[in-house]
Amino acid sequence: MKRYHVTTFGCQMNAHDSERIKGMLEELGLGEAVSQADADVIVFNTCTIREKPDQRFAAHLGNAKMLKRADPEKVIAVGGCYAEAQRERLFDLYPFVDVAFGPGTIPHLAEWLGTGGTAPRGRFGTGEEREFAGGLPMHRERRFQAWVQVSMGCNSVCSYCIVPAVRGREVSRRPGEILAEVDRLADEGVREITLLGQNVNSYGRDLGSSFAELLRAVDAVEGIERIRFTSPHPKDFRRDVIEAMAECDAVCEHAHLPLQSGSTRVLKAMRRTYGRERYLELVGALRAGIPDLALTTDIIVGFPGETERDFEETVEVVQEVGYDGAFTFVYSPRQGTEAAASPDQVPEEVKKVRIERLVEAVQDSALARNRERVGGVEEVLVEGPSRTDATLLRGRTRRNTTVNFAGTSAPGDLVDVRIDDATSTTLKGEQLAAVAA
Ligand code: SAM
Ligand code: SF4
């Protein structure tokens, strides 16, 4: 049997796409290899949001080139956003690559590889051929959790971001198709789903429906006990979604609400279309509507023209909101975006100082939030053994915090855990009683 190996870079959307790629390769009759060296088909699912994943990918590709030199029969496939961004020159840059595909052309990969994995060289779908990968078989990493794509592409014009250029305009997936997938997943025993889109709250505008309606419909699916979604854009976070979150039992008490910057001036230059005050009002409305809500965010430091005062405003918002966690990024100029052409680039050493300060502020905030949970009881969905202590189990709360705990349950169980300790990223505790699965 021929074997494949998939390496994934970047975001949850890519991790989900990789599950589809793997499922599709398995349907072609290939098995999963433990390493690139053991694989007949080597796939890279790439990201180009920042420079770092680009560099990591280049290092991996060097290794694949050597493997191909030793065994020219190996097929090298490169997919995802980097492939799409470099489509004009990918095969010139890397002549040993056999097949390339963009984020919207995963369904074609199987056709191109052919049964058994013999690839015609150089296929690459065009933007117009974009398709949802939802109908493809899926190789899920976890039996009780699944991602479900609700839309592809993005209509925003954030001046730092390459996503609209590589993933195209936003297209919503039909609600019937999404619900059929959720039904199928529930039948297979999935208890938690995460709805995925670049801007989930603008879902449905092109179809005459809305994200709030979708949340309510998914909430009604028997067997789905937790619903998450990522990412919403603050500009589109309307009251109807807050009400749906509050009223739907399965929708978790967690919102990932990208801030990007706490300075209204910088937000304007980023073309985010909200300012600091509007963002804080939204946080107030969310907290008023959904008691016990966890808030996480994305923040960029060192955007062109960001002054010390602008950065301080970001730290102030972190402290004022009291985030439960944040993905923090150093601004990375992406070729072709508006911000990359700005003459006011912030020096690397300044970015470094700011990111360290920001990470500290986020950790302080998250630690304070997690400490508030100590002494209480949390419902935990068990995922497996703890990664840090083999005698413990690991799972996540409805608010999306990882818990390491002493207990006897199996993956997929929902159990009550009494929390007795906290760090900035995890909780620790002891299982009270397992709720029947
Ligand atoms: N669509 C989502 C959103 O708007 O929140 C996520 C987009 S992106 C995959 C995830 C995060 O990457 C963004 O929220 C932003 O913080 C960060 N990001 C995007 N472009 C960046 C850049 N050029 N440099 C640094 N961080 C960037
Ligand atoms: Fe990029 Fe902005 Fe779209 Fe998010 S909303 S994907 S940051 S352009």
Q: What does the pLDDT read at residue 116?
A: 47
Expressed in angstroms and rounded, the spacing between residue 5 Cα and the centre of ligand 2 is 30
Which numbered ligand comes closest to the C-alpha of 272? 2
Residue 340 per-residue DSSP state: G
Protein residues whose CB sits closer than 6 Å to any atom of ligand 2: 154, 156, 158, 161, 163-164, 198-199, 233
CB contact at 8 A, 414 and 381: yes
pLDDT at 125: 59
**Phi, psi (deg, nearest 5) at residue 382:** -75, 130
pLDDT score of 182 more than 90: yes
Instruction: Please name the amino acid found at residue 399.
Output: R
CA distance 217 to 418: 32
Mean pLDDT score of the chain: 92
8 Å CB contact between 402 and 384: no
| CA-wise closest residue to 268 among 204, 260, 37 | 260
The predicted structure's pLDDT at residue 1: 87
Say how far apart CA 229 and CA 339 lie, in whole Å. 28
Which helix (H) or strand (E) segment is 328 a member of? strand 325-330
The two three-digit tokens of residue 270, written as one number: 């980023």
Atom 2 of ligand 2, residue of closest alpha carbon: 158
The single-letter code of the amino acid at 356 is E
Q: DSSP letter string over 27-85?
A: HTT-EE-SSGGG-SEEEEEE--SSHHHHHHHHHHHHHHHHHHHH-TT-EEEEEEHHHHH
Q: Kindly report the number of other CB atoms within 10 A of residue 360's CB atom.
A: 12
- Phi/psi of residue 325, each to 5°? 175, 165
Global pTM? 0.92
Q: What angle do CA 12, 58, 258 make, to 5 degrees?
A: 30
Place of tokens 């195209």: 168
Measure the CA–CA gap between 74 and 98, rounded to whole angstroms: 9
Can you give the pLDDT at residue 129? 66
- Taken as a whole, the chain contains a residue count of 437
> In this predicted structure, what is the pLDDT of residue 57?
86
**366 C-alpha vs ligand 2 centroid, how far in Å?**
25
Question: How many CB atoms are closer than 10 A to CB 236?
Answer: 18
Give the pLDDT score at 437.
44
- Give the range among 111-120, 170-179, 292-301 with minimum mean pLDDT: 111-120
- Pocket residue to mutate for ligand 2, from 155, 233, 298, 337, most atoms within 8 A of Cβ: 233
Whether 191 has a pLDDT exceeding 70, the answer reads yes
Where would I find the H helices in 171-275?
A: 175-187, 211-219, 239-247, 264-270
* Residue 307, token pair as written in the block: 């002054």
Residue appearing with tokens 């198709």: 177
Confidence of residue 118 (pLDDT cuts 50, 70, 90): low
334-152-282 Cα angle (round to 5): 80
Please check the confidence at residue 323 and state whether its pLDDT lies above 80. Answer: yes
Question: Rounded to 5 degrees, what angle do the CA atoms 113, 118, 121 make?
Answer: 70
Closest ligand 1 atom number to CA of residue 299: 16
Confidence of residue 32 (pLDDT cuts 50, 70, 90): very high
pLDDT for res 123: 63
pLDDT at residue 436 tops 60: no
Nearest to 38 by CA among 11, 64, 8, 77: 64
Strands 377-385 and 414-422: antiparallel
Q: What is the DSSP string of 73-138?
A: T-EEEEEEHHHHHTTTTHHHH-TT--EEE-TT-HHHHHHHHTTTT-PPTT----GGG---STTS--
Strand order in the sheet with 145-149: 145-149, 192-196, 226-230
| Percent of the chain topping pLDDT 90 | 77
Residues with CB under 6 A from ligand 1: 11, 49-50, 160-161, 163, 198-199, 231, 233, 258, 260, 298, 300, 329, 331-332, 334
Pocket test for ligand 1, best of 300, 303, 323 (most atoms within 8 A of CB): 300
In this predicted structure, what is the pLDDT of residue 51?
Answer: 83
Ligand 1 centre to CA of 339 (Å) is 13
Tell me the residue type at 13.
Answer: M
Instruction: Give the span between the Cα atoms of 227 and 219, in whole angstroms.
Output: 7
- Distant-in-sequence, close-in-space partners of 139: CB < 8 Å, separation ≥ 6: 19, 22, 23, 26, 32
Question: How many Cβ atoms sit within 10 Å of the Cβ of residue 402?
Answer: 18
* 382-418: pLDDT as tens digits: 999 999 999 999 999 999 999 999 999 999 999 999 9
Rounded Cα gap, residues 258 and 44, in angstroms: 27
- For residue 166, give the ligand nearest its CA: 2
Residue to probe by mutation, ligand 1, list 48, 161, 235, 338, most atoms within 8 Å of CB: 161
Looking at residues 7-12, what average pLDDT do you find? 89
In this prediction, residues 311-340 reach a mean pLDDT of: 97
Pocket test for ligand 2, best of 48, 152, 155, 161 (most atoms within 8 A of CB): 161
Assign residue 80 a region: left if phi > 0, alpha if psi is -120 to 50, beta otherwise? left
Neighbours of 45 (CB within 10 A): 27
| pLDDT category of residue 115 using cuts at 50, 70 and 90 | very low
Token pair, residue 166, equals 């590589």
pLDDT tens-digit map of 254-295: 999 999 999 999 999 999 999 999 999 999 999 999 999 999
Ligand 1 atom 11: residue of nearest CA: 298
Q: Is 7 helix (H, G, I), strand (E, B) or coil?
A: strand
Q: Which residue has the tokens 């975001």?
A: 11
